Structure 1
Amino acid sequence: MSFASASPSRDSQYYWFAVALILLAVQVLAEYVMGRLWICSCGYVKLFEPGVNTPGNSQHLADWYTPSHIIHGFLFYGLGWLVLRKTSFAKRLSLAVFIEAAWELLENSPIIIDRYRSATMAIGYEGDSILNSALDTVFMALGFLFAARAPVWLTVIVAIFFEIFTGWLIRDNLTLNVLMLVYPLDAVRAWQGAL
């Protein structure tokens, strides 16, 4: 898997990279219209929020859920490579940004925020700040770029490492997050709550 799997014109590549940036801008604008805060209500921005069930989680530049968004990029790259192999890299990246932006908007809607509060370990979850949400999409794009350049085996190892490390450290990761959002298990909730 590499950038060079398709060879579209340079203008076409620039067009689709511009589309990806426009999609990110639309995500930011939509979240502003939804009433999301630009930054943490605490009034400052941190590079990394180490707390999981804290008011600062999902409010700053990065947090323990950042690896999940990087894995989204890995998965979207793999999906694009499988089903859109003849499409340009930039077009596949734009599609990945579209999917991630759509998820970010859904994730910050009242229905998903309430679902997180009731079904997962995110008891006090208030949704993401616009800054955090936009950077979640940027981290997904960085994961996409990594997967495009790295050998498949390395991408898989990094994804497994992220899942095991965050699962061990905060008792949550992409796999558990999806499981608990779709099919909550009391045993998993109890294990996560014991941290």
Structure 2
Amino acid sequence: MFTRRSAPFWATFLIILLAAAWLLWIGREPICRCGFVKLWHGETMSSENSQHLADWYTPSHVIHGLLFYAGLWLVARRLPFGWRLTIATLVEAAWEIVENSDAIIERYRAVTISLDYYGDSVINSVADILAMVLGFALAARLPVWASVAMVIGFEALTAWLIRDGLALNVLMLLWPMDAVRAWQGG
């Protein structure tokens, strides 16, 4: 069951489990306050956003996986796939913990159009981490051009449909721009 070869996958599983436990410990809701879990919630201006398994921000977590795979291939390609996945999962889990801290939640509310954002549910955070794992696995199997096309496609799709995405989210958190905020507000 536990072998040297399976060690990185057990470590990855443990990281996800510990992230979920930490989020519960700091008071994040386990599931949506509405009392149920949906596979998909497509309404971004809603108190249920980031509370269910997947939403319009799920593609950004797939992109994380694609980017983490590329970055780790550049700097740690001698490590086996499993250990690179473990490192990527640790970074993603750390982001989920930081993203759901009071400071970052307040930052989102102050500088983005996410006025009703009050953090992810634990099940959404775990699903986000698993979306990153999916992106990482896809990047390992797809040609580079397909991974690049996925990043561009997901960013274009979410920018067009919800006026947000990974690049816009990072921009607005680090360097808020009134023009972008006005455009995102419709």
TM-score tier by shorter-chain length is over 0.9
In structure 2, which of residues 38, 57, 78 is the aligned counterpart of residue 86 of structure 1? 78
Distance 2:143 2:112 in 1: 34
Q: Provide the C-alpha distance between the structure 1 equivalents of 2:101 and 2:33, rounded to a whole number of angstroms.
A: 18
Render the CA deviation track for 1:55-75: whole Å, top value 9, x for unaligned.
110000100000000000000
Query: How does the TM-score come out when normalised to structure 1?
Result: 0.93
Structure 1 pair 176–11 and aligned structure 2 pair: CA distance change class (3 A)? same
The partner residue of 1:64 within 56, 59, 69 is: 56
How is 1:141-160 mapped onto 2 (pairs within 5 angstroms)?
A: 141-160=133-152
**Secondary structure in 2 aligned to 1:79?**
helix
Match of 1:73 in 2: 65
* 1:30-179 correspondence to structure 2 within 5 Å: 30-179=22-171
Aligned partner of 2:179 in structure 1 is: 187
Residue type matched to 1:122 in 2? S
Give me the whole-angstrom Cα distance separating, in 2, the residues matched to 1:50 and 1:137. Answer: 19
- One-letter amino acid of the counterpart of residue 172, structure 2: M
Task: Give the whole-Å Cα distance in 1 for the aligned partners of 2:132 and 2:126.
Answer: 10
Q: Which runs of 5+ in 2 are unaligned?
A: none
- Structure 1 unaligned regions, length at least 5: 1-9
TM-score using structure 2 length: 0.98
Q: Residues of 1 paired with 2:43 and 2:142: CA distance?
A: 31
Q: How far apart, in 1, do the equivalents of 2:17 and 2:80 lie?
A: 22
Q: CA RMSD, aligned part only?
A: 0.9
Tell me the amino acid that sits aligned with residue 44 of structure 2. V
Question: Distance between the aligned counterparts of 1:29 and 1:118, measured in 2?
Answer: 28
Aligned to 2:19: 27
Deviations along 1:41-100, one digit per CA (max 9) or x if unpaired, are 000111101100101100001000000000000000001100001001000000000000
Q: Offset at 1:18?
A: 0.5
Cα distance in structure 2, aligned partners of 1:157 and 1:27: 30
CA distance in 2, matches of 1:151, 1:12: 29
1:7-18 pair list within 5 angstroms: 11-18=3-10
Q: How far did 1:133 drift? A: 0.3
Identity of aligned residues (%): 51
Q: Give the Å deviation of 1:12.
A: 3.0
Aligned residues: 185
